[in-house]
Chains A and B, each alone.
Chain A
């Protein structure tokens, strides 16, 4: 492209530059009148590429002529040229009325002209989100659908992508569009297929689910997607990323086919591989309800093999299945209990103990089973110990008369003989609960647990909905909304599926646009409490490796602290309303976390205070625009069982960062000095 900067350095250059432009203009304008249509088109195309104001002024007249040229090749080139001109000078295009001419081209007799006009209009419409440029009405839609059958593969993509922005008025209209789009599913060009899938997925939302046609359409969607996977590797990649989205939207995969293969895998020799296979079976069961029964019977078959690691993995998985479908598959417990002795891995033991505790009332010898575990209490890993403690308390609450001794034994083991603070804490809590108010204890310990769902790789529903509207595009490959990687106003438009958005119009929210620009990461994964505490606990292992606080590492520490509690703080921010309230809450909670850090068995008090200080500073700065006005003064290292009060002067600086609301998360660390 010509860049005027290169010419304007000297006066001489300037003169020759204008002479050149004039010459070019003359010859290009002449060429626009050439009898050969190829040359006319070439001239108009070239003029669109020269981004100089002077040229663009000259361009208007020839362009207007070319848009109405008798030759379709010239018209289709001119249509794209309008988009080019709009990119250079939007106002000029509007003033000259090119947009109306472009709209007329949608009704052109030549399919390729229609396709290019649609492409140009779609691009222009993107930068004017509110203007009604592409006013799609049934008549234009009809014209587009006719052109769809006739134009090139690329034109079909433009038209399909444009159709996806249309919202049909009723289910009959959307059905008729779907019927005319379905043939595209067998096109060799996978982009055409994916765009057709996008249109169908969107319009299907409008159809009543009990309609026969809905079912047939669903059936038609699956095979082309599978076929995409035998395309070239790069396309496979795009297809897989998209299938990931589509599957999450409409879960009806044929699990049993996969199951036979997974079962086969599970009898392999490679231990790690087998574990993964068994896990996968469990995930199938949790994800697809209809398949759960088959999965459980497969798992039971696997348990019958008595291969140690298979059995253990299967038990871990079955525990999850119990959580997902309570009171459904408990008949298998007996089989599980038979294998109790062969379990030697902590995770499997913990899972088994959980099952015994949870279903204590149905297992006659639950107390015996748990007692057998209790014998080697001190040799168990923390995971098993904690689970055992809970299970025995559950058992006690269910069968209070027979198990009193057992419960006392476990409580004393946990509170008196154990070094582990977690275990002691939990022991104490149970103890107090049981001694003060057994009814409350029952409510707490035997509370109904929320059903678990397939947790990994899940995308937040609203984001998923938006991504479904972008099937086949970059957004669907990145699994991010377009606003996260596109600059400027283009493509930031938020798209919604028609069924759920009610009115169906694309809702523009300027606030999210700018906020999303600030925070690239989509709020998709919600860390669970376990993770958070786990991270907290991990921290007591990491710092000793970097003894002393080297100054360059501080930024890393800040980030680390943010990661640790990012999720928790978000929820706090959105759960409270006023700033004062918010400040109070966050301060309280960050203090709690701070103390948690300090109580984590590190004797290096100075290091911790450093860490705490940076963490504090970061939290305050980022959420409230507050900054500490002075350093945190901790004079003496913090010793166990000692508390100190520290005053930290604060001042407001910088902007307050806004965060999108996240789901609530409960952070309730219990603290004890050591």
Chain B
């Protein structure tokens, strides 16, 4: 298991050092600094083995977090733990910076004692931790016996991510469907590869211990219901969404630990008791029937050895009522470019010599529109025989719908003990589709 945990600043000075096991010597701290932080060549592997000691590191801004071990530990677990550690620290004192770590170092040691016992990760849910890691000392607080046992049963119990007795005057929840769409297209417009990786992020402000049920237009569920023939009352409480596909095929999805996985496996229903505040409910990935928000049509013509003509047309492919934002098209230019003249119908375009690209920015663009840029690129004559490799044209954008076609059908809230019903909860749903790696070859 994890033998020790160190936190360094960008200079390699140790801010936090917690050693859990005897096999980690005092020189381990220096070994990592010398071999990784101050290494002459940047160390690219996140796992480093120095003198039979393995170091796992992640970097947050300019802070290094390193876990050390001499055993054959579960590597995925160590990294997951380091991320969790970052999350917990962020939840306690905000941004992870040298100053914040120095100011909170007692707290960090206390946390490290609690969430890592002899190198074994323990309950690391902030919701539960905040009930008893308060930096005020346990003895100082005059808790009743009930309160104490409530804390311990919550930390060790089945629902370790939520504490009892949360109360809100207004029960509210926010759902964000965030997707990033990735594309690689041939110059002829053939899709070489495309996939969407999406996340459903939920912010919940609900009283008590509500039981939630989340529904989306998952093909398997819809088909099953269709067979049953029963009219689906859940479908009525549709929370609205983007453009119209009935159901989508999800390749794979993963859930926050609050979701009952066995229930999802058998019935494909997503039911859970949510943590309080913001968290990521699920992640998913789709590859079929993706709505590609933009189509890029490139035309590159080489006029002699010293001139290049480029014409790029972009077409938006969604409902005219919707607006795409933050559009940026990046057209790569050869290394020996001497000058560029650009004409574009919309937005602003500029040749950036340092990036070897023409960057064309459009603030807003409605659906079913078309825009065009043409550029003349002058080249310096070279005797380099190797031709220009023609890197792909890449694009960035943000659209207010889910390119995968995912729609939230319902999110029902049941709380039997407190008297508020599903209808009293105010629900907000938002869809944001962003570009991941969105490229077209030219």
Q: Which residues of A contact B124 (CB under 8 A)?
A: 152, 154
Check if B441 is an interface residue, CB within 8 A of chain A: yes
Task: Annotate B59-79 by CB proximity to A: 1 below 8 A, 0 otherwise.
Answer: 000000000011111111101
A472 touches B120 (CB 8 A): no
Check if B354 is an interface residue, CB within 8 A of chain A: no
> Of B76, B151, B158, which is within 8 A of A111 by CB?
B158
Task: Annotate B137-153 by CB proximity to A: 1 below 8 A, 0 otherwise.
Answer: 01100010100110111
Chain B residue at smallest Cβ distance from A230: B197
> Of A71, A154, A264, which is within 8 A of B120 by CB?
A154
Q: A116-B117, A153-B257 are in contact. List 7 more A-B contacts (CB 8 A).
A: A72-B157, A111-B156, A180-B262, A182-B265, A193-B254, A485-B54, A486-B52
Check if B1 is an interface residue, CB within 8 A of chain A: yes
Give B371 Cβ to nearest chain A Cβ, in Å.
26
B156 touches A112 (CB 8 A): yes
> Of A110, A270, A476, which is within 8 A of B389 by CB?
A270
Q: Which residues of A contact B132 (CB under 8 A)?
A: 38
Q: Which residues of B contact A38 (CB under 8 A)?
A: 132, 138, 148, 151-152
Q: Which residues of A contact B121 (CB under 8 A)?
A: 154
Residues of chain B at the chain A interface (Cβ within 8 Å): 1, 19, 21-23, 45-47, 49, 52, 54, 56, 58, 69-77, 79-83, 113, 117-118, 120-125, 132, 138-139, 143, 145, 148-149, 151-153, 155-158, 160, 184, 186, 192-193, 197, 251-257, 260-262, 264-265, 280, 282-283, 285, 386-390, 441
B71 touches A226 (CB 8 A): no
A261 touches B74 (CB 8 A): no
Q: Which residues of A contact B123 (CB under 8 A)?
A: 112, 152, 154
Question: Which of B77, B148, B192, B261 is most buried by chain A, counting CB atoms within 10 A of its CB?
Answer: B77
Q: Which residues of A contact B74 (CB under 8 A)?
A: 157, 161, 191, 194-195, 472-473
CA distance A473 to B158 in the complex (A): 27
A152 touches B257 (CB 8 A): yes
Interface stretch, picked from A18-26, A79-87, A591-599, is A79-87
A486 touches B156 (CB 8 A): no
A487 touches B70 (CB 8 A): yes
Q: Which residues of A contact B264 (CB under 8 A)?
A: 183, 186
A475 touches B1 (CB 8 A): no
A474 touches B251 (CB 8 A): no
Show 29 residue pairs from A and B whose CB-CB distance is below 8 angstroms, ordered by the A residue. A36-B138, A42-B138, A48-B118, A73-B151, A77-B117, A116-B120, A150-B158, A152-B125, A154-B81, A154-B121, A180-B262, A186-B252, A186-B261, A188-B255, A188-B257, A190-B76, A191-B76, A193-B254, A194-B74, A223-B251, A226-B252, A227-B285, A234-B46, A268-B390, A269-B388, A470-B72, A474-B73, A490-B71, A491-B72
Q: Which residues of A contact B77 (CB under 8 A)?
A: 154, 157, 191, 195, 472
A187 touches B255 (CB 8 A): yes
Q: Which residues of A contact B82 (CB under 8 A)?
A: 234
A188 touches B280 (CB 8 A): yes
CA distance A475 to B75 in the complex (A): 9
Check if A97 is an interface residue, CB within 8 A of chain B: no
Q: Which residues of B contact A238 (CB under 8 A)?
A: 46-47, 75-76, 79
Q: Which residues of A contact B149 (CB under 8 A)?
A: 37, 71
CA distance A397 to B71 in the complex (A): 61
Q: Sorted from nearest, which 8 A-B pairs have the closest CB atoms?
A: A223-B252, A73-B152, A191-B76, A183-B265, A191-B77, A482-B72, A183-B261, A154-B121
B389 touches A472 (CB 8 A): no
- Within 26-64 of A, Cβ neighbours of B (below 8 Å) are at 35-39, 41-42, 45, 48, 51
Q: Which residues of B contact A215 (CB under 8 A)?
A: none
Task: Annotate A469-500 by CB proximity to B: 1 below 8 A, 0 otherwise.
Answer: 01011111110001001110011000000000
Q: Which residues of A contact B390 (CB under 8 A)?
A: 268-269
CA distance A186 to B283 in the complex (A): 9
How many residue pairs bridge A and B at CB < 8 Å?
A: 225
Q: Which residues of B contact A119 (CB under 8 A)?
A: 1, 120
Q: Which residues of B contact A232 (CB under 8 A)?
A: 58, 79, 83
Check if A644 is an interface residue, CB within 8 A of chain B: no
Chain B residue at smallest Cβ distance from A222: B252
Give A176 Cβ to nearest chain B Cβ, in Å.
14
B122 touches A149 (CB 8 A): no
Give A523 Cβ to nearest chain B Cβ, in Å.
19
> Of B47, B186, B257, which is within 8 A of A237 by CB?
B47
A224 touches B252 (CB 8 A): yes
> Of B184, B254, B441, which is within 8 A of A187 by CB?
B254
CA distance A51 to B21 in the complex (A): 11
Check if A271 is an interface residue, CB within 8 A of chain B: yes
Give B190 Cβ to nearest chain A Cβ, in Å.
8
CA distance A155 to B261 in the complex (A): 15
CA distance A180 to B261 in the complex (A): 10
Chain B residue at smallest Cβ distance from A158: B120
Beyond A186-B264, A273-B389, whether A226 also contacts B79 by CB under 8 A is no
Q: Which residues of B contact A227 (CB under 8 A)?
A: 251-254, 283, 285
Check if A291 is an interface residue, CB within 8 A of chain B: no
CA distance A659 to B414 in the complex (A): 67
Beyond A112-B156, A235-B80, A474-B47, whether A486 also contacts B72 by CB under 8 A is yes
Chain A residue at smallest Cβ distance from B158: A150
Give A222 Cβ to nearest chain B Cβ, in Å.
9
B79 touches A234 (CB 8 A): yes
Chain A residue at smallest Cβ distance from B1: A123
CA distance A157 to B52 in the complex (A): 24
CA distance A195 to B73 in the complex (A): 12
A72 touches B1 (CB 8 A): no
Q: Which residues of B contact A149 (CB under 8 A)?
A: 260-262
Question: Which of B49, B74, B262 is most buried by chain A, counting CB atoms within 10 A of its CB?
Answer: B74
Check if A76 is an interface residue, CB within 8 A of chain B: yes
Chain A residue at smallest Cβ distance from B147: A36
Q: Which residues of B contact A324 (CB under 8 A)?
A: none
Give A265 Cβ to nearest chain B Cβ, in Å.
9
CA distance A338 to B182 in the complex (A): 41
Chain A residue at smallest Cβ distance from B26: A3
Q: Which residues of B contact A270 (CB under 8 A)?
A: 386-387, 389
A188 touches B70 (CB 8 A): no
Task: Annotate A123-163 by CB proximity to B: 1 below 8 A, 0 otherwise.
Answer: 10000000000000000000000000111111001100100
